[in-house]
Amino acid sequence: MLTTELKTQIRQSLEAAKKGMPDFKIRQAQNKMIAEISKTLAGEYPNGNPILCVEAPTGTGKTMAYLLSAIPIAKAQKKKLIVSSANVALQEQLLNKDIPEVQKYCSVDFEYALVKGRSRYVCVRNLINLVEDKASENELFDNAALWDAPPGKYQLDQLGEMLEDYSAKKWNGEIDDLEQNPDGSLWSKIACNRFTCTAKNCEFYNDCAFFKARKKITKADVIIANHDLILADLSTGNTVLPDVDESIYIFDEAHHLNHKALSHFSLSTGTEFIKTSLRQTQGVSEQVCKLTQSDAPDNNIKAVDDYLSDLTELLKGLTFDEEIHLFDQGVVEVPIQAICQNLITSIGSTHTQFEHLKESWSDYLKIKMVEKTIADPLNNVLGECEQHLSSILLLLSSFLQADETGQAPHSRWIEKTTAANKKTNYILNSAQIDISNNLDQLIWSKVAGAVLTSATLSSLGSFNRLNQQLGLVKTDNQYL
């Protein structure tokens, strides 16, 4: 409910901003936006969800409008306000200019923080293991499992400098704050990863860059995010951001939300990636079995290689337009489906055996002492292999699925690429054309409140296309 106290707080904040900001101009459209946001988020409309879509041209003062109105309401409702942008430029403007400015004039006290994805932070355990490399001193451990290729001296030197700076608190552990970013393959070895993170069970938990940042988020009233991070977090279990039902979302530049969501609900894997993943799985399995003195499982590499050769021959016969072959109506040809089924059978068997191996390894660690410099790197690679096998099986399964009658079909296509060694790699892709149900289940049906705003939300004067794309129900929401 929009109480008298809330109205007063919002009005006082607006008046203070008018007096304190030299370039502040009174805009009728901005006042209207503040009023509609306030009424919607406070539950003044009886016809459904506290969701508002606002189309307002550049120069309206949208940012000040949603901050001055939504912050007092979120505080009163004891909810987190998550402000999401589509690009880095707007995110930096929110962090360095707009929100600090609002903090000066807002009638309620609040704290704010920027949230980044887990992979933007270094894993201290991984960094130390690679720099110190004590695992290589053990004759039972093959350090090659940690690297796709032997590291160069410059890479090892860079890792050493990063560890020194982090230990001396000269670096906060974020890749964005490094003077010189490492290449992607190097960073992937030391970045935080939800598949390998042991959280509170890690000896470096209290010194973890990711969890330090996460603690700041739990204390913040206003959280600055971006569309990609929100979609990634919500689609993988909502482990970074506050619970959706405890949050009010502001989606600025909301016209980008649809294509951002489409990319997040897509699947992709390549023929070369399948080969390397199976071999990495075999390598780490042999390492575990060497330590536990057990027999290594059969990873079906020969069978998978044969099926991939057959698949490659079929794909060579397809017609590619600018290196892309798009399947008609998203329906994959039967011969290709048959090979995908064979791959699922073989890789699925590998995946099942690998899961058993991981369980046995976990049980082994409970009864046997294994040096952390050996166990930690192995656990990391085990987690990566699990992630890779799962993603491969999801994509292959999508190539076999029949789309439901009356529902929007999936788009499925093959992309042909050529590596530096002139070897052809085929990328298999599958994407949902309609992600409206996904967004409704993840956000709209749960959220405590939401504002979607942009200068270009409607199409031909109507919000129907926006509703259709994002899964919004016209009768349940407000529009301005």
CA atoms of 185 and 200, how far apart (whole Å)? 27
Q: What pLDDT, on a 0 to 100 scale, did the predictor assign at position 135?
A: 47
105 and 123 housed in the same domain = no
427 and 345 housed in the same domain = yes
Q: What pLDDT, on a 0 to 100 scale, did the predictor assign at position 434?
A: 87
Q: Decide if pLDDT at 30 tops 80.
A: yes
* DSSP conformation letters of 420-442: TT--EEEEEEEEES--HHHHIII
92 and 11 housed in the same domain = yes
Q: Which residues contact 307 (CB under 8 A, 6 or more apart)?
A: 339, 342, 343, 346
230 and 363 housed in the same domain = no
399 and 332 housed in the same domain = yes
328 and 295 housed in the same domain = yes
- Region of poorest pLDDT, from 249-263, 277-291, 369-383: 369-383
Report the predicted TM-score, pTM, of the whole model to 2 decimal places: 0.83
303 and 207 housed in the same domain = no
Q: What pLDDT, on a 0 to 100 scale, did the predictor assign at position 139?
A: 45
What sign does the dihedral 304-425-387-135 (CA atoms) show? positive
CA distances from 407 to 281, 435, 441 (A): 37, 11, 17
- Region of poorest pLDDT, from 25-34, 180-189, 382-391, 451-460: 180-189
Number of domains in the chain: 3
52 and 197 housed in the same domain = no
324 and 448 housed in the same domain = no
Please give the DSSP secondary-structure letter assigned to residue 113.
Answer: E
420 and 459 housed in the same domain = no
E strands present in 96-183: 112-114
Q: What is the pLDDT of residues 41-98, one digit of tens each?
A: 998 887 767 999 999 888 888 999 999 999 999 999 999 999 999 888 888 899 999 9
By residue range, what is the domain housing residue 180?
Answer: 118-211
Both structure tokens of 262:
């489409």
User: For position 462, which CATH number holds?
Assistant: 3.40.50.300
226 and 104 housed in the same domain = yes
74 and 50 housed in the same domain = yes
